[in-house]
């Protein structure tokens, strides 16, 4: 197995103790989730689950993956075709649906939310965007090694002073003979410290929409990929800065025409939010299984705590919120497949699932009590990981603004 080959160990004694339970089944989650899928999607989900059990099960918040080990995992995922689920067969992909991609994201995030986040940045934010906006010759250059996992992908939008207001970015691209010189900095870039292929939006004119899209092939002179930032959660997903010091990018690495960047950015954001919405569902389902298993085995006052109505109400609430979010996500994926996904729907999907994931993690800690507050149990990690989804890819406050503007037709 990959983990054994990489010499990775875990300090999560609880996972070791209860591994047979999770290996045998993904209790409540599997029982209900798989019934909503068609036969092809069920086969995909079962294959991904088996991979995750063997490769991701023992990765916890105390474990760090060095770049070499990370790439080995990425290549193992590439061998399964996980990176290219929605890419067309012409582009070397599996040609499956947005729903199938979301299923993969959900399952990976159930076992490791960190790896799920990096997976979304690679397979959707980078690869799917390349497939949408690049020319056939450009796709032929960059997609094959991203598909196999030999290369790791990233998307660079945020800057130190440009977060939710993405169009205020200041990274400049100066035209020179044969290409462009990029000067400035990107920040909070998922996979940034280890990425080989990076989609970068840079300013080529002073007007607000004067953004242009470039593909950076790292390492390259003038680009400094910062060390991974120490974060509260998502600790296995490397996040960092990208510093451009007159970094030369050839003309052939420009995507589209000058000024197309703003349209490219907006086109990708809705699909980004849609896939990312599956990550919190993975966390919710992990919380649900943890609470269900723990409450059935934890005895107080002579019986399992699952027999007390206050505990039962927590289980019922998480179960209901999970399935509400899952049903909405699958509906939104169907809409995306037919080109009917709206900004409001994409924003509301991740708004719903992200807040429910944080609630589920808090309830998991509460049910486990002192054990929930301990790092020997995964509940506290679920909370630290879940909180990211209320902030990344546009905060929940921004998502509410997007929804309200769409419903009230204000600008």
Active-site amino acid positions:
272
Residue 57 region by backbone torsions, left for phi larger than 0, else alpha for psi between -120 and 50, else beta: alpha
Our measurement of the distance from residue 306's CA atom to the centroid of its chain's CA atoms, rounded to an integer in Å, reads 32
Structure-token pair, residue 254: 């420009």
Residues 6+ apart with CB under 8 A from 42: 34
User: Length of the chain in residues, anyone?
Assistant: 411
Residue 376 dihedral angles phi and psi, to the nearest 5°: -75, -15
Whose CA is closest to 49, among 104, 122, 124?
Answer: 104
Whose CA is closest to 353, among 277, 285, 289, 273?
Answer: 277
Task: For residue 160, give the 3-state DSSP assignment.
Answer: coil
Whose CA is closest to 80, among 144, 130, 147?
Answer: 147
- Start-to-end Cα distance in the chain: 53
Structure-token pair, residue 317: 């609430």
Q: How far is CA 55 from CA 48, 67, 280, 380, in A?
A: 10, 16, 20, 22
Our measurement of the distance from residue 217's CA atom to the centroid of its chain's CA atoms, rounded to an integer in Å, reads 22
Whose CA is closest to 45, among 114, 122, 101?
Answer: 101
For helices 343-368 and 278-297, angle between their N-to-C axes, nearest 10 degrees: 20
């Amino acid at each position: 197995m990959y983990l054994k080959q990489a010499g990775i160990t875990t300090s999560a004694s609880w996972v070791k103790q209860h591994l047979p339970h999770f290996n045998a089944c993904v209790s409540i989650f599997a029982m209900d989730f798989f019934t909503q899928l068609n036969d092809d999607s069920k086969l995909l989900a079962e294959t991904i689950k088996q991979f995750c059990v063997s490769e991701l099960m023992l990765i916890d918040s105390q474990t760090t993956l060095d770049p070499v080990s990370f790439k080995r995992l990425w290549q193992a995922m590439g061998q399964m075709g996980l990176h290219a689920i929605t890419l067309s067969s012409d582009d070397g992909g599996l040609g499956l649906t947005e729903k199938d991609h979301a299923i993969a994201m959900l399952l990976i995030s159930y076992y490791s939310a960190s790896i799920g986040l990096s997976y979304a940045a690679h397979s959707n934010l980078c690869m799917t965007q390349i497939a949408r906006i690049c020319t056939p010759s450009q796709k032929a250059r960059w997609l094959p090694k991203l598909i196999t996992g030999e290369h790791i992908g990233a998307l660079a939008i945020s800057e130190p002073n440009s977060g939710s207001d993405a169009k205020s970015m200041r990274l400049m691209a100066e035209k020179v003979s044969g290409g462009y010189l990029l000067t400035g900095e990107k920040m909070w870039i998922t996979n940034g410290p280890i990425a080989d292929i990076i989609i970068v939006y840079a300013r080529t004119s002073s007007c607000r929409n004067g953004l242009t899209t470039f593909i950076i092939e790292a390492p390259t002179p003038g680009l400094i990929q910062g060390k991974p930032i120490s974060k509260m959660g998502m600790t296995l997903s490397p996040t960092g800065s990208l510093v451009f010091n007159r970094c030369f990018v050839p003309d052939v690495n420009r995507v589209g025409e000058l000024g197309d960047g703003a349209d490219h950015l907006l086109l990708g954001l809705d699909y980004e939010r849609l896939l990312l919405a599956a990550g919190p569902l993975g966390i919710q389902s992990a919380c649900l299984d943890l609470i269900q298993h723990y409450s059935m085995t934890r005895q107080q006052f002579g019986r399992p705590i699952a027999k007390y109505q206050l505990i039962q109400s927590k289980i019922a609430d998480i179960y209901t919120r999970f399935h509400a979010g899952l049903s909405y996500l699958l509906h939104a994926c169907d809409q995306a497949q037919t080109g009917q996904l709206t900004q409001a729907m994409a924003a509301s999907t991740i708004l719903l699932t992200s807040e429910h994931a944080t609630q589920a993690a808090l309830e998991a800690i509460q049910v486990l009590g002192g054990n929930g507050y301990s790092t020997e149990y995964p509940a506290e990690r679920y909370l630290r990981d879940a909180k990211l989804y209320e902030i990344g890819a546009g905060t929940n406050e921004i998502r509410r603004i997007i929804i309200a503007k769409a419903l009230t037709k204000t600008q």
